[in-house]
Chain A
Amino acid sequence: MTELAQTRSAPALPFGRRFELVPVILFAVFAAGPILASASGAEGYVLSLLTRVMILGLAAMSLDLILGYGALVSFGHAAFLGIGAYAVGILASHGSEDALVQIPVALAASAGFGLVTGAISLRTKGVYFIMITLAFGQMLFFLATSLAAYGGDDGMTLPERSRVAGTALIESDVAFYWASFFCLLVTYALARAVVASRFGRVLRGTRENSVRMEAIGFQPFRYQLAAYVLSGMMAGLAGCLLANQTEFVSPAYMTWQRSGELIFMVVLGGLGTLHGAIIGAAAFLLLEEFLPEILHTLGFMLQEDMRARLVENWKMIFGPLLILIVLFARGGIMGLWRRGHHG
């Protein structure tokens, strides 16, 4: 993990000193989302895509908190998405449909799971940590598939979106969009405060050199565990939103492939910047959404059946694209941005 720290240090200057343009633009774009959507002529589609970007952006950002700032490569982060989603689904199926009940339960469950699995995982280092978090994620995935009462493999459909204090406040897609926007903004502000705080500084210090931190009197484990729990709770919140957006809950939310995608979003956007993770999520989801269409356009000289086959197998392009990004675009999108700005 130290090697990770050395090659991937986030900007050395403390945060919050400078005015930062990128997050302002990012949130301005999200705030303009509903207008953009209605202007696009495909309002429902654009709105739901942007909502999804914000929700998975929230999840990716929560992962960045431990991956980018703590150098903890957690490969089971989707489990928290699942916990959040299942908290909503299970409570709804027992008649508790209010978000004011569901969200606290989801956060508590995420914290509990994070505390137990984190305490065990953080005893290990490096590759062991990657694999043990992966295994815990799988454990929860299999638990979900065996919950016959809650849909098992197939998952379950929610009767309706969560109510808020008894009202159908977020029933409309636009209202839900704003709810997601609000959650993302608040969580982002919170995360920014945390990484600059005393706690965040210890976490960043541990990423750079954990032996040094011990030698000045810190016990890295406690701070890493707290960060792991906090990050899990944020991802749990994203899970609540995800369940509400799709009005559907299934084990598919917590496959290990999903955890891998979350890591990819963070790296694609740029580690250790928080908003980079959100941008990475946007880039990932837009690529996933539009790559088939891009391929369709690029394949204009091909015969019709070959072209269809190309579009159908877009993942064969997506996989190598991922490899190329890892090999050549170090520092992710935020890295490119910084290099562009400093010559």
Chain B
Amino acid sequence: MVEPLLELRHLKKNFGALVVTDDVSLAVEPGELHAIIGPNGAGKTTLIHQISGFLSSASGEVLLGGQDITRLSMHERVRRGLARSFQITSILPGFSALENVALAVQARSGSSFRFFGDASRERGLNELAMDCLEQVGLGDRAFATAGFLSHGEKRQLELAIALATRPRLLLLDEPLAGTGHDDSQRVVETLRALKSRITIVLIEHDMDAVFSLADRVSVLVYGRVIATDTPVAIRANAEVRTAYLGEEV
């Protein structure tokens, strides 16, 4: 068996008496798209926060490529190749789409303690940023102000920003949430194009998307992983059906 790219060991998070994630252990293999599904309030977003370092964990470990990153802050994890998107779109609304991405390129290329020279004219940064925008199909909107993009475009922009950090692992928190049919179609296609190149952990409520994209699926219920398997096996799993999929499948 290959060494997992991301490994969670007995991860736990509680807010006071409320236990949100409980003893979560999970291994994500390099190259796979690993979906995490579960009913509302199962702790999916909290888990992403814990992996990305946005929230600290009460106990347990997070390993990236075999290295313990449990105590690292969010920005240090990014520098080790862990990028994420947010459930509620998080972009720089006053910047152009291109500059949103160029900043992410800037973050990994050279020092940002440079006080002279117009950053918005650095060709090296802009070209790489443009690349990422084109990968998500947003090349023609590069100079639009990010705050004025449509909702679906903002989600694509978030993907481009994440890609620009050159991640080994991409954490996506409901990238399809709130998008219309056409937009969601585009995001799914983008993900399909990306999945061979980058390891992805995906949280999503859209079951069609999950079962068409995922290599493996983990089911989180009340903060615990009750099953991890191929999409076909998950559909057939009786425990999962009663706990969660029951109404939908």
Contact = CB atoms under 8 A, between A and B. Distances in A.
B120 interface: yes
- Which among B79, B108, B115 has the highest number of chain A CB atoms within 10 Å? B115
A322 to B, nearest CB: 27
Pick from A17, A194, A215, A223 the residue with the most CB of B within 10 Å: A215
20 contacts: A10-B94, A12-B96, A12-B147, A193-B117, A194-B116, A196-B120, A197-B116, A198-B112, A198-B113, A198-B114, A200-B115, A204-B94, A205-B103, A208-B93, A213-B103, A214-B74, A215-B84, A216-B103, A216-B161, A218-B112
A202 B75 contact: no
B70 interface: no
Interface string B92-110: 1111100100011011100
Contacts of B79: 217
Given A209-B92, A215-B84, A216-B103, A200 B75 contact: no
Contacts of A196: 118-120
A124 interface: no
A243 B53 CA distance: 49
Interface string A247-262: 0000000000000000
Contact of B52 (A14, A201, A215, A219): A215
Contacts of B54: 211, 215
Contacts of A213: 103
B103 A197 contact: no
Interface of A: 5-6, 9-10, 12-17, 193-194, 196-202, 204-205, 208-209, 211-219, 223, 226
A201 B99 contact: yes
Most chain A beta carbons < 10 A, residue from B94, B104, B108, B164: B94
A6 B119 contact: no
Nearest to A203: B112
Interface residues of B, number: 40
Contacts of B120: 14, 17, 196, 201
Interface string B170-195: 00000000000000000000000000
Given A197-B115, A201-B120, A217 B107 contact: yes
B91 interface: yes
A124 B78 CA distance: 23
Nearest to B117: A197
Nearest to A219: B75
Interface of B: 52, 54, 73-75, 78-79, 83-84, 86, 90-96, 99, 103-104, 106-108, 111-122, 145, 147, 161, 164-165
B116 to A, nearest CB: 5
Given A14-B120, A216-B165, 19 more contacts: A10-B94, A12-B94, A13-B96, A14-B96, A14-B121, A17-B120, A197-B115, A197-B116, A197-B119, A200-B115, A201-B106, A208-B92, A211-B90, A213-B103, A214-B74, A215-B78, A216-B103, A216-B164, A217-B79
A217 B165 contact: yes
The 6 closest A-B pairs by CB, nearest first: A14-B120, A217-B78, A9-B94, A217-B107, A216-B104, A208-B92
B83 A223 contact: no
A209 to B, nearest CB: 5
Given A12-B145, A217-B75, A217-B165, A212 B90 contact: yes
A193 B94 contact: no
